Amino acid sequence: MVFNSSTFLVFFVAFFLLYWWINNKMGVLVRNVFTTLASYLFYAFWDWRFLSLIIISSLTDYLIGLMLFYFNNQLKRKLLLISSIVINLGILGFFKYFNFFISSLHDLLSLFSINLNIHTLHIILPVGVSFYTFQTLSYSIDIYLKKIQPTKDIFSFFVFVSFFPQLVAGPIERASQLLHQFQEKKIFDYKKSVDGLRIILWGLFKKIVIADNFGILVDNLYGPDQPLSGVTTLLGALFFAFQVYADFSGYSDIAIGLSKMLGFDLMKNFQTPFFSISFQELWQRWHISLSTWFRDYVYIPLGGSRGSIARVNFNLFITFSLSGLWHGANLTFLIWGGLHGVLLIIEKRIKFNINKTLKGFFVFACFVLLLIPFRAENTTHFIQLSGSLFDWNTWSMEGIWNGISSFTAFKFFVFFGVFILFMIIEYQIKMLDFSEWIKQKKKWFRWVLYYTIIFIIVTVGNFDVKPYFIYFQF
């Protein structure tokens, strides 16, 4: 069940009406139980078998959180924290990385002429496992560090972990920011619900119009029948940058908007990152919930910016390499994360006194180029794509025409015009969200833009592809 589907529309309307009736008539406890069960139903549409993993992760950190708070013996507390880390990362590691590590071990031993009969397993990656395991793990770590106190309310904790708007693709919330909201009585706020609807509308526009149309172009440019070409590799990476941004930030916007309609505030996950003028700023504005998670639970514990230059460089490189590996069990993601770490290290050590606009273009260009390993299917594909950039014989326009052949000329230019409108609005929004930005405009402008966006979604939106979000695979 995905946000941009008729099934979800029916689900949410029914849930929304029952949710507010239960909240007003039966109180917080029943509301939380109902929301938890509805969230499990939402997840069961993907695969009901993996509900047990969410329950295990929730129960583990709920119990460990209580024991961490009441135990004073430091050795016992460390053992409890290690237990939380082992269980959560064990679940994540088995389902996401088992085959990757087995294959890597096999390749490593082969270098020394050691051939072992090692078999991989047919493992299905549970949707959202990378997100909710990090969310529950941060809860235990924060209690261990005495930043927060555990909750005794098991139902509020279970709904904190399984809350369906952000269950399968974030934002990755902290207990200090979200958990207490489930313990509060909610009062329906019409203005807040309208804010939520505005953000949802913008998120659907990003997903259905921008991301899914760019997705067709990217798939054509990188398709198996498309001959390797430097120009299609570069153009495909550029289009993929806009696809992945609109897709994931669109999901985050919808999640934030849905939550507002239910009385909850989630953290912003994107703040128009393509207008950043440094790599540090880019990562402060892109997938903020994950970037801050790695900052707080990996980079700072490693030493952060303290210590020698070599040590700080090491901390940055390791943090971004692990962030890359979080995205998938493939060397290409490790390369992607490691190279971003290298860019941040260079930026930290070398100051470039150039025009801010030029620096912004440079940052964006580097981001686009590094999406080549991110989009590549494997290391072999990445090497082939990278090699095509340096083969001047492949720089022809033929590949571009093949790549956009699924669009009529009229549709392509209409979509290009819509994309320009999208970028203008993104530039205007800056560090706000869509609702905060448009509330500053006159009433006539707001309504014209609402109807324009709806019209564009209906006429230009891509409804022919499976409406999956890219980050569901992570």
Residues noted as catalytic: 327
Question: What distance in Å separates the CA atoms of residue 248 and residue 166, rounded to the nearest whole number?
Answer: 12
3-state helix/strand/coil string of 106-123: HHHHHHCCCCCCCCCCCC
Pair of tokens at residue 407: 């669009």
Structure token pair of residue 254: 């919808």
Asked if residue 33 lies in contact with residue 119, where contact means CB atoms within 8 angstroms, the answer is no
Taking each helix axis from N to C end, the angle separating 190-204 and 443-460, rounded to the nearest 10 degrees, works out to: 40
For residue 282, the one-letter residue type is L
Q: Which residues contact 228 (CB under 8 A, 6 or more apart)?
A: 384, 385, 387, 388, 391, 394
Distance CA 296, CA 301 (A): 7
d(CA 456, CA 417): 11
Please name which of 406, 423, 469 lies closest in space to residue 218, comparing C-alpha atoms. 406
CA angle, 263 then 198 then 18, to 5°: 40
Copy the structure tokens of residue 79: 């053992």
Tokens of 20: 């507010």
DSSP symbols for 413-459: HHHHHHHHHHHHHHHHHTTS-HHHHHTTS-HHHHHHHHHHHHHHHHH
Annotate 278-301 with b (16+ C-beta within 10 A) or e (fewer): bbebbbebbbbbbbbbbebbbbee
Distance CA 263, CA 19 (A): 11
Q: What distance in Å separates the CA atoms of residue 111 and residue 104, rounded to the nearest whole number?
A: 11
Longest dimension (CA), the chain: 73
From the number of C-beta atoms within 10 Å of its C-beta (0-12, 13-18, 19+), residue 36 rates as: buried
By the 8 A CB rule, do 467 and 212 touch?
Answer: yes
> Sign of torsion, CA 368 369 371 377?
positive
**Which tokens hold the place of 294?**
């790695």
